[in-house]
Structure 1
Amino acid sequence: MIMVTGATGTVGRLVVARMPTSTAVRALVRRPDRLITLRPDVEVVQGDYADDDSLLRALQGVRRALLITGAVGGGEDERFLRAARRAGTEHVVKLSAAAVLDRSADDAVTRWQRDTEQLLRSSDLAWTLLRPRSFMSNTLAWAPGIRSEGVVRGLYGTSANACVDPRDIADVAVRALTESGHDGRAYTLTGPGPVTAVEQTRELGRAIGRRLEFVELTPDQTRAALLRRHSEPVVEALLASARRQKCGAKAGTDPMLAKLLGRAATPFTTWAVDHAPLFANGSEGTTKPRARP
C-alpha cells in the first residue's frame, strides 16, 4: 500500500491520478469531500496531522508514503514520521524545496524545510527528498487579474526562475514511490530553463489570444498584498526569496528531472497552453499557490 498525503493539493492530487492502476493507493485528506479523483480504486481516508491517532490508523498497512506538509514550524512532519515508524512504514518520499541548497537562504520557511528534511534523514525510515524549484502553477494567482483587467501585477518582473511543472514533480514522485533505487537520494527538480514573470505574462497572453500587461509592484505593495494571505514570517520569507531570485539564485537548471523521467522537463509555454482556460474570460477555476521560496 502506498499513501499520498496532501491529496487535494497541487502535487498530491496529480500523484494520485498518475499512480499505476495495479498499485494499491490510499489518499490521506483532512476533508474527503474536497478530493476530486477519477480513480475509483483509490482508498480515501480522513486524517489530520494534529491528530496522532488518526495518522496511526491511516498508516496501517502502508509500506511507502509521500509526505507533503505546509504548516511552517507546526510539527506536522514530526508527528507523521512518529506515526509512520509505529505503523511499520518503510519508506517516506518528502516534498521539500530547492532553496534548502542555497547557503544565502536563511528565511523562516527555508530553515523549516531544512529542519524537516533532517527529521526524515535521522529517522529509522528509508527516505527520498524531492526539491523542486517554484511551481509553474503559482501563476494561477494571476488569473483573476488577467480575466478582469488583462493585467499581471508582481515583484521584480525581469528576474528569472527555472520553475517546474507540477505534473513533472508528480511523475518523479510516482517513480520514487513505486521503483527501487531511490532510497537515500535527494533530487533537485527544475524546469528546462529560466523564465521571468514578464515572459510568463507574454506566454499566457499568447495562450489565451489576448494582449496582457505586466505591472511592477514595489516591495511594500507586495508585502501588503501577501499579508492578506500569509503570516508575517512567511511574507518576509517570500520577499527574501524574491530578492534572491532577483540576484540570480533561481535561474540555474538541473538535469536530474530529465534523467529520472527519460524526457525533457516541460517548458512554461506548454504549461500555459494546457492551462489557458483557467486564465480566459468566463473561467472560474483558481488554485491557491503554495508558498515556496
Structure 2
Amino acid sequence: MDFMSNTPAWATPAWVESVREEGVVREPFAYSRAALVHEADIGAVAAAVLTRGGHGGATLRLTGPEALTVPQQVAAISAATGRDVRYAELSEDEARVRMLAEGRPARVADFLIRWKRDMPAEGYTVVSTVEDVLGRPARSFALWAEEHAGRFISGAGTR
C-alpha cells in the first residue's frame, strides 16, 4: 500500500523541492502505476473498524479510487498548484544515485527500484475496501494534491 502523503514514498522531499525550484518531477518508470491511498482514509477506516467492530481477524487492504502513473500524479499536482509542472524520466542508475545521495542505504534504494520496475499487482489493483467500510468512495489523488498544493509552491513550508 502506497500512501498519497509519501508521494512517492521514496522520493519525498525531492518532489516538493524540485517542483518549487524548477517545476519538474524526476522519477524513473513513467509506466508504473500505483493505487495510492489518502492518509485520511486510512485513519477513517481504522476508526470505523475499531469503533464499529465486525472486522475481527480480517486483513483489510486499502487503496485509493484509481491507479495512477507518475506523470498522472504530476499532472494532478500541476492542476492543484496552478503551475506548469512537468515530468522528466530518470534512468534506474540516475534514480539510484539520487537515493544514495539523499542518504538511503544501497539495499533500500535497490529494493525501491525493483519494486517500481516490476510493481506487484497489489500495488496497482484498486479495491473497494474504503467504500465498503465507510459507505463513501475513497479520496482521489487530485483531492490530495489540492489539499497539499501549498507544499509545492515556492516559499511555502516543506512539511
TM-score normalised to structure 2 length: 0.89
Deviates more, 1:229-238 or 1:213-222: 229-238
Correspondence list, 1:148-227, <5 A: 148-227=21-100
TM superposition shift of 1:158:
2.7
Contact 1:191 1:267 (8 Å CA) reproduced = yes
Inter-partner Cα distance in structure 2 for 1:236 and 1:181: 40
Inter-partner Cα distance in structure 2 for 1:241 and 1:197: 14
User: In structure 2, what is the equivalent of residue 49 of structure 1?
Assistant: none
User: In structure 2, what is the equivalent of residue 137 of structure 1?
Assistant: 5
Correspondence list, 1:121-132, <5 A: none
TM superposition shift of 1:209:
0.7
| Larger-gyration structure (1/2) | 1
User: In structure 2, what is the equivalent of residue 276 of structure 1?
Assistant: 149
Contact 2:60 2:129 (8 Å CA) reproduced = yes
Contact 1:244 1:250 (8 Å CA) reproduced = no
TM superposition shift of 1:265:
0.5
- Partner of 1:188, secondary structure, is coil
Inter-partner Cα distance in structure 1 for 2:131 and 2:142: 17
Contact 1:278 1:284 (8 Å CA) reproduced = yes
Give the unaligned 5+ runs of structure 1: 1-132, 287-293
User: In structure 2, what is the equivalent of residue 233 of structure 1?
Assistant: 107
Compared with structure 1, are the counterparts of its residues 170 and 194 closer, same or farther at alpha carbon in structure 2 (3 Å cutoff)?
same
TM superposition shift of 1:183:
1.7
Q: Matched residue pairs, number?
A: 153
- Is 1:257 aligned to 2:125, yes or no? no
Contact 2:26 2:90 (8 Å CA) reproduced = yes
Q: If each structure's strand is expressed as a fraction of its own residues, which one has the higher value?
A: 1
TM superposition shift of 1:175:
1.8
After superposition, give the CA deviation of every residue in 1:25-59 in whole Å (9 maximum; x if it has no partner): xxxxxxxxxxxxxxxxxxxxxxxxxxxxxxxxxxx
Compared with structure 1, are the counterparts of its residues 269 and 233 closer, same or farther at alpha carbon in structure 2 (3 Å cutoff)?
same
Q: Given the alignment, which residue of 234, 237, 244 partners 2:118?
A: 244
C-alpha RMSD of matched pairs (Å): 1.6
Compared with structure 1, are the counterparts of its residues 251 and 285 closer, same or farther at alpha carbon in structure 2 (3 Å cutoff)?
same
Inter-partner Cα distance in structure 2 for 1:205 and 1:152: 10
Higher relative contact order (CA 8 A, sep 6+): 2
TM-score normalised to structure 1 length: 0.50
Give the unaligned 5+ runs of structure 2: none
